[in-house]
Structure 1
């Protein structure tokens, strides 16, 4: 085992160490400057403010209207579509169970919490 390393040690001593060129540091620093200037990161959100506004309005509207869809009677049954010349309500007899209503409200709340947590995490990641 020791004999293998003796040959390697002799070869390394014969070759010697390499020395960089005189302007090596200058060349490396100029390349770093060029690379850092070309890669500026501009933040652009994936979802625009208008889209967040529309999604917020839809979710709030859904959360406000869900309690009206009870098991006993639906608010959509009370809407009068008679002005459409005999058009029947497409939601006639549609009832949403209270468990479904609570589940949808719970998922919406969890979705909003998840969005705020993810936004904070992304803000921390890009602020450094």
Structure 2
């Protein structure tokens, strides 16, 4: 089942984020071919033009490479993928920290809470 889209962001941005997460989590490996525009459009229930825009954005970011006549492939540039991983981590930490601060937690309380959570997961 496909995760529903939020009204907070354009659909193409949400799809870019989903694909980046799949790449960072290694669901999609470096060098893997992405499904065709038509297949992705059907999979996500969106217009093929939306998928074209997603592919253009991913290529602009250096996350994928277009190979004429062959399709779209995840880059094998490990430095680019390492940078993407660091960017996603930073975004998640920023979002979480901002929400916790809005709830009134101090930096020390946030760190202690995260540390306790991580230790409990071991």
TM-score (norm 2): 0.37
Q: Which has the larger radius of gyration?
A: 1
More contact order relative to length (CA 8 Å, sep ≥ 6): 2
Q: Which has the higher strand share?
A: 2
Q: Which has the higher helix share?
A: 1
TM-score (norm 1): 0.36
